[in-house]
Amino acid sequence: MLTDEEIQQICASYKAKWLAQDEEMRRAGLSGSDGELYSDIINAHHQVVTMAAARGDVSQIGGELRRHLRELGLDIDEGTESYSRLAYAVLVAEAEVSHARMEREAGRAVATPKVTH
């Protein structure tokens, strides 16, 4: 069974990974149609993930969660209480990442946490 601390660590590494990827995209330069497309993707994703979070619909992040767990070398059975708790926590983390991306889109600085594994 995963502890609350372990779940927090997994969520922190998930958020750090996705915010680092977003920062990398922005540092590479997003202009013209590339910038518009990225903005459209971020906006559409924000709508989906915030609705999923409001409903507790963890199916929206299942694939990314499984991928992240593989990257961390973790194998957690999807039918367990631990996985259920983790999936919901990662869904909330994904909503936080989405919010941070929207803040960046609006021109506000959002720090990228250090990627941890």
| pLDDT tens-place string over residues 14-45 | 999 999 999 999 999 888 888 899 999 999 99
* Residue-wise DSSP of 35-74: HHHHHHHHHHHHHHHHHHHHHT-GGGGHHHHHHHHHHTT-
Residue 115 above 80 pLDDT? no
pLDDT at 78: 94
Residue 117 above 70 pLDDT? no
Q: What is the pLDDT of residues 53-110, one digit of tens each?
A: 999 999 989 999 999 999 999 999 999 999 999 999 999 999 999 999 999 999 999 9
Q: How is the chain split among helix, strand and coil, in percent rounded to 5?
A: 75, 0, 25
Stated pTM of the model: 0.90
